[in-house]
Amino acid sequence: MNDSRYRDILVEDDGPIRTICFDRERDMNRIRVTTLEELHDCLDRTSMDDTIRVVVVTGKGRSFAGGVSLDEIIGLSAPEAHRLSQEGHRICSLLEGMGPICIAAINGFAFGGGSEIALACDIRIGSDRLRIGQPEVTLGIMPGFGATQRLSRIVGSGLAMDLILSGEIIDAGRALQIGLVSRIFPAGEFEEKRHEYAHQLLRNAPLAQKLAKKAIRASWRLAPEEGLAEESRLFSLSFETGEPRIGIEAFQEKRRPEWPKGTGHSSEKGVRHD
């Protein structure tokens, strides 16, 4: 999928892997209203494409994505700010609820809205040049694309309060230490390593991955006993897919499993994405 209508993002497909790259390098990939519109359109189209199993969100140059362009927000009225926040929420909810596994490949700076987009992805990996944070309070505003809700799920409420209220920018080592990212790679190898990691995810059972994602998301909104009940329901549903027999027989025969084609997210039996 390569669409010339997009000016702020680049979209490239490598089989079932789709890479969405912020492409405003001269402006540190700061987010404009047009960036949000293009990203929304791209994610809508991706969510309907059952050939895509992994989505990688990254940035061109030294930045993953900066905050929303200051020139576009300095004169906002309260109703306009509310609409902007809601659009950010829609985009992050699309990322969070997609069938494909969404990876934020944070190659450099990720501030404000850029950090919040990364928080909405399933997995965050980074280069050793990563710098990430929510510096909004230093500008007299607060996060508006979901950091006040998602960051505490990832690092805990105490650390989320600290990072958001201090506006501190943290480096790759600190981000890895607190669990904000799960893997860090040398900057010079980052593109190669993120490709390797995306392909590694493709080796596993696609419907089992989607069911596991759904169970993890359920833990965010359900009481523990309800979450366990949902896990049992989804575990049992996985045996209707045929994947357990394929995987177990391949393991017993000491070979790599060959998962059936056409198991994309739009065709999942009984699997609904919230």
> Catalytic residues, which ones?
116, 136
Q: Of the candidates 151, 126, 134, which has an alpha carbon nearest to the alpha carbon of residue 220?
A: 151
- Cα separation, 183 vs 175, whole angstroms: 10
For the chain, where are the alpha helices, taking DSSP H only?
A: 33-47, 70-73, 78-97, 113-120, 147-155, 157-166, 172-177, 190-202, 206-219, 224-238, 243-252
- Cα separation, 141 vs 153, whole angstroms: 22
Strand order in the sheet with 109-111: 63-65, 109-111, 131-133, 169-171
Write the single-letter amino acid at 3.
Answer: D
